[in-house]
Chains A and B, each alone.
Chain A
């Protein structure tokens, strides 16, 4: 049996609150990491809306689409936007990796039985898987359509349509839109919550808006490969 003498062993008073002040707080708290993920996610969400609007011009035919591509190539904003998007994506991925690894280590021993109370969704539970699929898909996608075998913007329509003739590409592309839809449908409302924008009345609306917008974007993109493969 141990014996502890406590007299005089107490440490001298420390400041009332530790971890505050200019240098006390970790550079990126868990919440700031999530904020970074939310802001970058919302940024890419906005981009996707524009991207989809442009891409839907495919349906109008080669002239419209190639014209749009040529217009983009001409304006000087493209490069800064591309760099910006790259930074958004990298920051999004970096914070996601950090957050996800932290989450995995937070419970070293798993439960033998675990049930949900019904609040989480398939989308919310699979964010990291969706993220991983998109992290593979997006570089391939950029490589294929931006640096693929074509001769300038006037030829882009042809490149896309030729690519979608390949069933592997068309169906691979289409398949990747499912995790995108899932990812966006949870990510949208989640980002607002992370940014602290969530009043009780706003909450169901944000959730609904996230699901509707997310799936609309995914479906919009999904139309293209199918149209490319079957449509012509």
Chain B
């Protein structure tokens, strides 16, 4: 099968405009005849559902949380990029495009990234109009800050709660549509299968998490905005509920999964404190604007940070990357932290941490300024660690944070399954092998507000869809399969808890498929993961019944999918014998230890086709061609 990305012809700058000019339209009177399912209510899902409702489509909006407002986009702290050039520092659509594609280590589709940069400015306009309280200057105009991977200030922010404010903006738009009846909100429902009829996505099976009942829904198109899979590592900065199930179920039904090995390990998280730990807490990357990262020069130095004189500290990012310093992209910052810790210079419990020191910034700008910028982050750090970062340097360590891989989509955000659209973190499209800070919010909202509402119309106007109801065999079959799977999980009645399997899987992946990967380790994982999965299906215990709120059953289903998905992630990592962005293969590095791409063999998207659990999936390659940028070795020196 040849993957057709459907990238429009023409010069890069004109592709999106021309494409929009020629998309088919659904007339206003006909829009209400179409039903669209949107799964997930994060930035991408909420913005898409709201915008589709505004256009007049009938929208069914699903989320597993008790309210759409709780989707994990809410936790994004730092900001959102946009090529507004308000600070007059030379930013432009092209620069944002170039920074993003370079930050992604040239593994993203050029046309998608350019479009992302193009619509970025409209996102800010939309959010301001919704009442998002972005930070402002005294003149009343919008303020910007700088962020990792860029030499201009183009990041808009609302204190350390940008994701929350943007999500509440999208949520309010969604609630407005709910009040008109055009969007129906269906919370506390988890998608457990995609229904495909004659090769076209036509509906979903969900479990009503309150009653435990299975429900099926028919639609003319299905949009997945179900986030990323960083929780495959068990410990990550993601919310506990984040999972791969919706995407994985769609994959099992035929949607290709692209680049699963592209995972982002965020450099500034609070280090692990103990084995009971349930999640890792991110400290916004914006902290690197003012904080300086260092470790003691001598391995095994156990003195307190304030007792280590300046000359005996190694500000390793500033030393190695003089022009970007502490603001190198996330993958570079993370890998360097790991390198220092591997060399025995790590600090804190288990030597798994580096310092992020604000004392110079406090001396320079004053305590009040730092408090205003990062107050809530410092408070959060204090609550968790009982340490005061105003007086003692923070301890940070990398943690899984974001996943660039996801379901394969074309330029219209449609997967290879007609009628299945994938938005936001759940798709693979715009960040290549590494995402820059403040770009996830941008992509989620770009997809939901400004791309999908156009492209879905083109699909609906041209697709020949037959009328269906949930009595159709495909719906009945899908519902039965889901029901059987749930019954099977409940019937095992083994000895081990769901979490113990999840933890074991997470540790395995973190050690051998985390910040650095090699062939031997990956091959070992390909033996160990199926074995763990087998044990799971024989020895897991899931108490309770299916016909009620059963949180263990919810987790069991998610972990079962992670156990299948993890194998694909590892296989993809093994197959990609180059280093790029967040994917670092130890076999492929420069003499200085930097990631070394192999453009000759791996300048492609790896899209995997499911062939059955335990069966080798089929690899489809979408070649990446770059006509406007030259593939350079990334350098932040």
Q: Which residues of A contact B (CB under 8 A)?
A: 1-7, 10-18
Judge whether A13 and B182 touch: CB under 8 Å. Answer: yes
Q: Which of B175-219 contact A (CB under 8 A)?
A: 176, 179-182, 184, 211, 213-219
Judge whether B470 and A11 touch: CB under 8 Å. Answer: no
Judge whether A10 and B184 touch: CB under 8 Å. Answer: yes
- Contacts known (A1-B479, A16-B176); A10 close to B214, Cβ less than 8 A: no
Judge whether A4 and B182 touch: CB under 8 Å. Answer: no
B60 interface contact, C-beta 8 A: yes
Judge whether A5 and B218 touch: CB under 8 Å. Answer: yes
Chain B residues positioned under 8 Å from A18 (CB to CB): 179
A14 to B35: give the CA distance in the assembly, Å: 18
**Leading 5 A-B pairs by shortest Cβ distance:** A1-B214, A5-B470, A4-B215, A2-B213, A13-B180
Judge whether A7 and B179 touch: CB under 8 Å. Answer: no
Other 12 A-B pairs with CB < 8 A, given A3-B215, A5-B217, A14-B181: A1-B214, A3-B214, A4-B215, A5-B218, A10-B181, A10-B182, A12-B181, A14-B179, A14-B180, A15-B180, A17-B179, A18-B179
B550 interface contact, C-beta 8 A: no
Chain A residues positioned under 8 Å from B470 (CB to CB): 3-5
A17 to B179: give the CA distance in the assembly, Å: 7
When C-beta atoms are compared, the residue in chain A nearest to B186 turns out to be A6
Binary contact track B145-181/A, C-beta < 8 Å → 1, others 0:
0000000000000000000000000000000100111
Contact of B469 among A7, A11, A15, A17 (CB under 8 A): A7
A36 to B217: give the CA distance in the assembly, Å: 49
B263 interface contact, C-beta 8 A: no
Chain A residues positioned under 8 Å from B181 (CB to CB): 10-14
A14 to B215: give the CA distance in the assembly, Å: 26
When C-beta atoms are compared, the residue in chain A nearest to B179 turns out to be A16
A10 to B59: give the CA distance in the assembly, Å: 9
- Contacts known (A13-B181, A18-B179); A6 close to B218, Cβ less than 8 A: yes
Judge whether B35 and A6 touch: CB under 8 Å. Answer: yes
Judge whether B58 and A10 touch: CB under 8 Å. Answer: yes
Chain A residues positioned under 8 Å from B60 (CB to CB): 6
Q: Total contacts A to B, CB within 8 angstroms?
A: 52
User: How many positions in chain B have a CB within 8 Å of any CB in the partner chain?
Assistant: 24
When C-beta atoms are compared, the residue in chain B nearest to A18 turns out to be B179
Contact of B216 among A4, A12, A13 (CB under 8 A): A4
When C-beta atoms are compared, the residue in chain B nearest to A12 turns out to be B181
B539 interface contact, C-beta 8 A: no
B483 interface contact, C-beta 8 A: yes
Chain B residues positioned under 8 Å from A16 (CB to CB): 176, 179-180
When C-beta atoms are compared, the residue in chain B nearest to A13 turns out to be B180
Q: Which of B450-481 contact A (CB under 8 A)?
A: 468-471, 475, 479
Interface centre among A7, A10, A11 (most CB of B within 10 A): A7
CB of B222 to closest CB in A, whole Å = 13
Contact of A5 among B58, B176, B469 (CB under 8 A): B469
A1 to B483: give the CA distance in the assembly, Å: 8
A10 to B218: give the CA distance in the assembly, Å: 13
Chain B residues positioned under 8 Å from A7 (CB to CB): 35, 218-219, 468-469
Q: Which of B204-259 contact A (CB under 8 A)?
A: 211, 213-219
A96 to B470: give the CA distance in the assembly, Å: 53
Contact of A4 among B58, B176, B217, B219 (CB under 8 A): B217
A129 to B363: give the CA distance in the assembly, Å: 56
Chain A residues positioned under 8 Å from B483 (CB to CB): 1
When C-beta atoms are compared, the residue in chain A nearest to B37 turns out to be A6
Chain A residues positioned under 8 Å from B179 (CB to CB): 14, 16-18
Chain A residues positioned under 8 Å from B217 (CB to CB): 4-6
Chain A residues positioned under 8 Å from B475 (CB to CB): 3
Chain A residues positioned under 8 Å from B211 (CB to CB): 2
Chain B residues positioned under 8 Å from A17 (CB to CB): 179
A5 to B180: give the CA distance in the assembly, Å: 21
CB of A176 to closest CB in B, whole Å = 48
Chain B residues positioned under 8 Å from A15 (CB to CB): 180
- For this complex, 27 residue pairs linking A to B, each with C-beta atoms less than 8 Å apart, are A1-B213, A1-B483, A2-B215, A3-B215, A3-B216, A3-B470, A3-B475, A3-B479, A4-B217, A4-B470, A5-B217, A5-B218, A5-B470, A6-B60, A6-B184, A6-B218, A7-B218, A7-B469, A10-B58, A10-B181, A10-B184, A13-B182, A15-B180, A16-B176, A16-B179, A17-B179, A18-B179
Chain A residues positioned under 8 Å from B216 (CB to CB): 3-5
CB of A172 to closest CB in B, whole Å = 53
A16 to B213: give the CA distance in the assembly, Å: 32
Chain A residues positioned under 8 Å from B180 (CB to CB): 13-16
A6 to B206: give the CA distance in the assembly, Å: 13
A10 to B182: give the CA distance in the assembly, Å: 7
CB of B220 to closest CB in A, whole Å = 9
A1 to B211: give the CA distance in the assembly, Å: 10
Chain A residues positioned under 8 Å from B219 (CB to CB): 7
CB of A217 to closest CB in B, whole Å = 43
A39 to B249: give the CA distance in the assembly, Å: 61
A73 to B21: give the CA distance in the assembly, Å: 87
A10 to B211: give the CA distance in the assembly, Å: 22
CB of A11 to closest CB in B, whole Å = 5
A17 to B172: give the CA distance in the assembly, Å: 13
When C-beta atoms are compared, the residue in chain A nearest to B183 turns out to be A10
Q: Which of B550-571 contact A (CB under 8 A)?
A: none
When C-beta atoms are compared, the residue in chain A nearest to B180 turns out to be A13
A222 to B635: give the CA distance in the assembly, Å: 83
CB of B483 to closest CB in A, whole Å = 6
A14 to B184: give the CA distance in the assembly, Å: 13
CB of A7 to closest CB in B, whole Å = 5
CB of B173 to closest CB in A, whole Å = 12
CB of B358 to closest CB in A, whole Å = 29
CB of A103 to closest CB in B, whole Å = 25
When C-beta atoms are compared, the residue in chain A nearest to B60 turns out to be A6
CB of B9 to closest CB in A, whole Å = 37
Chain B residues positioned under 8 Å from A13 (CB to CB): 180-182
